[in-house]
Every structure is written in C-alpha cells, then in structure tokens.
C-alpha cells in the first residue's frame, strides 16, 4: 500500500500522506518525489496541497525505528541515501513551479515541521496538533540547509526559541507570527481553506518557478556545499 497518494482536483494536485504518523524513511522520500514529479508533469495543475489522511498527525518526522535499525546494521550508505532523498524532496518543494500549500491537520514534528516550512504557504488546524522541533532533546542536529529554509518560513526570534527549547507551538501562535496563513477551526476547515487558497492561483509556471529558484538559490547552494560534506562524512560507531 502506498504511503503517498495523489489526486488531481480541477487545477489542484492534492498530495496526501497516508501512513499514520507519516514517518519519513526511504520509501516515503521515493514516493513523495514521484508524486511531486507527477503533479509537475500535469500541465493542468496550478497549485499543490500537501495533507495527511491521519486524524492526529500531519507528519511526525524521521522514522526513528527505521533509522535505529539502519544504525544497528551499520548501514551508512542507506542512511546517506535517505538523507539525500529527503534533501531532494525539500529542494523539489522549494523549486516546483507551482505554489505548494501545507494543510497541517495534526502534529508536525521535526522533519515533518521542516517539510511544512519547505512549502510556500501553510494552514493549520487550531483544535488539535502541535508544531515542534524536538531535535534538541533527541540529539539530532539540523542540516545547514534546513536552518536556511526554516528561516524563510519562521521569524528569527521564534525560530530561535523553538529550535533551542523544543517547545510545542500552537496554530494560534503560528498565525500571530505569520508562519501560517490561518489557524482553522478543525481538520475539515483546514483542508477547505488550503484548497480555496490553492484554487485562487493561476500563475504562469515559467515566472513562478523562476521566482522560487531565485528566492531559494542560497538554500539550494547550501545543500550542495554544506549538507553534502556532512552527509558524506557520516560514520556509524559500534
């Protein structure tokens, strides 16, 4: 069963993460890239909404069970491949020539929150779910490019607080900080608001893609010049 589903609704590509907590692992990265490529190849598509089929979670970030198993097996190449795969996902979100809109209908933690930040716009439900960077508590550092593209979405003072405390933020707080377009009443209202916003777009792909490439040029460069050496230097200790 696929963990990523794609449906075209009029001019909107609806990409749904459909694996419960939507933990990110090699399968997640590969299927997400495939869905994004399919959406981009369909000339009818003028916007993309990224949602979740789970009632509680949008994405809980990295699949720590998979990661622990890979570490125990000493699978350095598998972990490197996954890290490159997720960087490709983030890079695609940053450059795909259509607006990308996160409909955050549950918890967005760690790499899940980063995935939301890689989108162009965000909506979030206010009745349940938190936005959180728990890496400081689980001893996982951000990659340099992650810091760069999270900063495009979150004001520096709030990013500083959330990154260094690991505190869980609410939709209401994020709306006040303009991290999200709107805090919505519930899950259905979040998806509807994201879809309405997506349907309002009919921009030319050429100019929209060029805007995004120029806006995010430094982030993409950071992936190559700073992330890559760190990924390549990964060493698992016994």
Per-residue pLDDT reduced to its tens digit, 209-222: 999 999 999 999 99
Residue partners of 25: CB distance under 8 A and separation at least 6: 62, 63, 66, 67, 82
Coil, strand or helix at 58: strand
Percent of the chain with pLDDT over 90: 96
Strand partners, 8: 13
CA 60 to chain centre: 11
Q: Phi then psi for 129, rounded to 5 degrees?
A: 100, 145
Say whether pLDDT at 47 is over 60: yes
Q: What H or E segment, with its residue span, contains residue 15?
A: strand 12-17
pTM of the model: 0.96
Strands (DSSP E) contained in 83-224 are 100-104, 107-109, 121-125, 131-132, 182-184
Distances (CA, A) of 14 to 11, 32, 39, 48, 157: 10, 12, 9, 6, 32
Coil, strand or helix at 78: helix
Residue 36: pLDDT band with limits 50, 70, 90: very high
Say whether pLDDT at 238 is over 60: no
Say whether pLDDT at 46 is over 80: yes
The pLDDT value recorded for residue 236 is 82
DSSP state of 226: I
pLDDT in tens, 49-98: 999 999 999 999 999 999 999 999 999 999 999 999 999 999 999 999 99
């Amino acid at each position: 069963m696929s963990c990523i589903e794609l449906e075209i609704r009029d001019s909107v590509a609806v990409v749904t993460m459909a694996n419960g907590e939507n933990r990110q692992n090699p399968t997640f990265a590969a299927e997400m890239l495939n869905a994004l490529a399919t959406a981009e190849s369909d000339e009818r598509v003028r916007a993309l909404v990224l949602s979740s089929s789970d009632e509680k979670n949008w994405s809980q970030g990295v699949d720590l069970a998979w990661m622990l198993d890979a570490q125990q097996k000493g699978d350095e190449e598998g972990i490197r491949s996954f890290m490159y795969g997720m960087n490709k996902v983030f890079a695609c979100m940053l450059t795909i020539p259509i607006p990308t809109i996160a409909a955050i209908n549950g918890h967005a933690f760690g790499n899940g929150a980063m995935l939301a930040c890689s989108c162009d716009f965000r909506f979030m439900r206010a009745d349940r779910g938190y936005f959180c960077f728990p890496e400081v508590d689980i001893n996982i550092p951000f990659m340099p490019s992650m810091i760069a593209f999270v900063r495009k979405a979150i004001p520096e003072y709030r990013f500083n607080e959330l990154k260094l405390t690991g505190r869980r933020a609410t939709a209401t707080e994020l709306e006040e900080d303009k991290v999200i377009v709107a805090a919505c009443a519930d899950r259905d209202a979040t998806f509807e608001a994201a879809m309405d916003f997506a349907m309002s777009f009919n921009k030319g792909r050429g100019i929209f893609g060029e805007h995004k490439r120029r806006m995010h040029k430094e982030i993409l460069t950071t992936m190559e010049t700073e992330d890559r050496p760190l990924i390549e230097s990964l060493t698992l200790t016994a």
